[in-house]
Amino acid sequence: MVIRVVVISAIALLGMAHPTAATQSLPAQSLTGASPVKLHVNFKRKSMKLHRQSEFDIYATPVVSTNGPSVHYNSLATVQDADSKFTYTLLDGSAYLTTTDAFDVETVRCLPPNTLPFDEILPALNSATPIPSASIGGKSIECASGNLFKTTFSGDHYAICALGEAGFMVYSSDLDIAVEYLDSTVSISKPVLTDTSAACEIDQKLTSLTPTALALVTGSKITSSHSRMLIEEAHMTMEATSCETCMSTPRPCIFLHGLGNPNEEAELQDTPELTNRKLGDIHGHAPCCSDMQW
């Protein structure tokens, strides 16, 4: 569930946005010039995968309102595992999950709004604070532009490197996201629900953008006047991505795999075959286990 929230949060990169009074001096085309974007998500921890994939792309297309300086993003991401294809769609504030099995049979359902923190995305960009440097596990984050920021989303800390027209990079202990501005619009169609739901709930809130957030959305230059509006903080330190060694004496481990499994084996098993689709393969993620049985 945590990984899914991270993914859908990235898919929901932006809900609704309009410039604050602080941005009114910017050119009128600043917001209307927002480009479609591609987000390349890379999970860095071995234990973090979505449908067995550690990397995937998200495409988002802006829709600018005709009656005011506001915009929302429609987004799409497709992830393929061994048996099925999963397509996450955010369209006009409603979230859908389309599952296509090995026989090309599609099922479409709504994703509950209360599991998707849409309203936290833009505030995270708005609260971005400039920092002189950042590191993960003692390794420095390189930001060629020098426009490095820090922010917090869903309790996790992130560093953002703004690269102007080239996009921006997001770094954390758990994942990296490379945001690239696209020249052409990505076509996103409304999925047809296959369950008994009449329609998916809409979770879309209007949020004001600070100059820094607007620059990240549009790829415009972050001027020195914008930087002076924020108080630069100290070096940002994030924990290492993985723990390779055990801090205590390794011991044999026994894992119980009774979740949804009506069959009980008479003896302990040496492989996690019965849990792969439920809990994943824990090998490589338990440095304090000298031996594993299920």
Q: Report which secondary-structure segment, H or E, holds 8.
A: helix 2-11
Asked whether residue 206 carries a pLDDT value surpassing 50, the answer given is yes
**Cβ density class 216-229: b for 16+ within 10 Å, e for less:** bbbbbebeeebeee
What pLDDT is stored for residue 255 in this prediction? Answer: 75
Amino acid code (one letter) for 144: A
Task: Label residue 25 by pLDDT band (50, 70, 90).
Answer: very low
Q: What is the C-alpha to C-alpha distance for residues 169 and 190, in angstroms, rounded to an integer?
A: 29
Instruction: Evaluate if residue 76 carries a pLDDT over 70.
Output: yes
Residue 226 has pLDDT above 60, yes or no: no
Of the pLDDT bands very low, low, confident and very high (cuts 50, 70, 90), residue 253 is: confident
- CA dihedral angle for residue 145, residue 151, residue 157, residue 158, rounded to 10 degrees: -30
The model's confidence at residue 16, banded by pLDDT at 50, 70 and 90, is very low
How far is the C-alpha of 216 from the C-alpha of 218, rounded, in Å? 6
What whole-number distance in Å separates Cα of residue 246 and Cα of residue 277? 27
Gap between the Cα atoms of 236 and 148, Å rounded: 10
Residue 132 has pLDDT above 90, yes or no: yes
Q: Is the pLDDT of residue 263 over 80?
A: no
Query: pLDDT at position 117, please?
Result: 57
27, pLDDT greater than 50: no
Domain map (residue ranges) of the chain: 2-238, 243-294
pLDDT for residue 288 is more than 60: yes
Residue 265 has pLDDT above 90, yes or no: no
Give pLDDT, residue 105. 95
50-69: per-residue pLDDT in tens? 888 889 999 988 877 766 55
Write down how long the chain is.
294
DSSP letter, residue 190: P
| H-only helix segments in 90-233 | 121-126, 211-218, 224-228
The Cα 3–Cα 50 span in angstroms is 7
Q: Would you say 47 and 281 are in contact if contact means Cβ atoms under 8 Å apart?
A: no
Q: pLDDT tens across 178-200, in order?
A: 999 998 888 999 999 998 888 99
